[in-house]
A and B are shown apart, each in its own frame.
Chain A
């Protein structure tokens, strides 16, 4: 394995961490359910980037790619089901605000 590839690992990791921080902040600070899902997506993007960089650095590009493809399939299924749940919540409470959701739960 060449040293050059190893040297790019830390700069890429910094950006992975920054992307992950954006995702976590978005999920924590928003009250909208769709925005929370978008935050989750950002975190998944950070992990995808980390996997690709790790594969490139270690020389296991094919293995990293197969992992990323699996991750993308899982991501799509998770988002589809989550979007269905969000639509169900909207049809019941007529709102996407998590604060309203908590109020309705306490009432119910």
Chain B
């Protein structure tokens, strides 16, 4: 991976291309598709060709595969649709899908998060304020709030290249690799569709806003009272630095606030070997690491680094609008004087309205298994499956490595036993057939592993 920093110097290239040089893990100076890697690919594929029977096996599996892909596509589409913000789907003045502060490569389970928000166990995705100043008057605040879009389409669906294929640097390029290339194009198309859908939602929202400003405001839109109640004391999320209604999710361990948009970004690190001495002990032994020793650790709290990050959320009981409550347009502040302040165009910032239903906020940390604590694993229940597939991948990699290693040994032995006699040729050919035999065995083994993984996935999907 020594190439990375050397590329850091020119500051002028665009953001995306830069970051791809940074994230390129070991692509080498030739880049991810450089000549060195394609040459390597050929060696592996030749191993496949020598085992014709194996290829036939693949052909049989193809039918099943295409069905599997269809199903996968369907699920993916459903997942992406779950990330669309719709103004009609609101809870307490917030929404069920993220605003789009981060790129929309979100992998949390949409159904689970939407469910948690509707049950008010997790703060809804509120539209963030980019700036906030306490000295703004209520009217100024209302004007700003009413101009906010539903979704930050350009950031979330920016058309820039997806990350490089993580398998690009690998010696063993599975058929998966080529399928992924195809899927990339499909994904691009899909993202464009999603962008379109989100745009339509945005237009609907704009329409209802503009039509309601003339006479009656639609009850589907948050009333000004609701907006003020939420944003009058807007608070900065310590991670994205954007302003949200002050009632945020609170970390279970150190009682720090975090907005839901940042919360769903936190995830487990990729599976890794148990000790983090990766850099100084990268020996041959290591690459043949026992795959089952790979571990995946629960996400740490970003604030205090406690293990098993989780949050709690206590809904403000006085605002219960949207799902399971009144229409957001029907919300009125209970405080009469506050209402008057809004009506009589106050020019100075009105005093903070006395908080209704002030509940005792949690004062101490909670264990991860306390009811009400939402953990990262709860919104990404697929982590176990991911760990299993990482182990499989490593197993395959190790198998390929040992096959190559073994064949090299045989070749070397062959050279060592160099002698001018005929016996040498005999040794050579038997060694060669030996290599062939091994490679076939290896190919079979890999296909078995593939199959195993496929079955595991099927089982997982059935469970859903």
A binds B: no
Question: Which of B's residues lie within 8 Å of A, judged by CB?
Answer: none
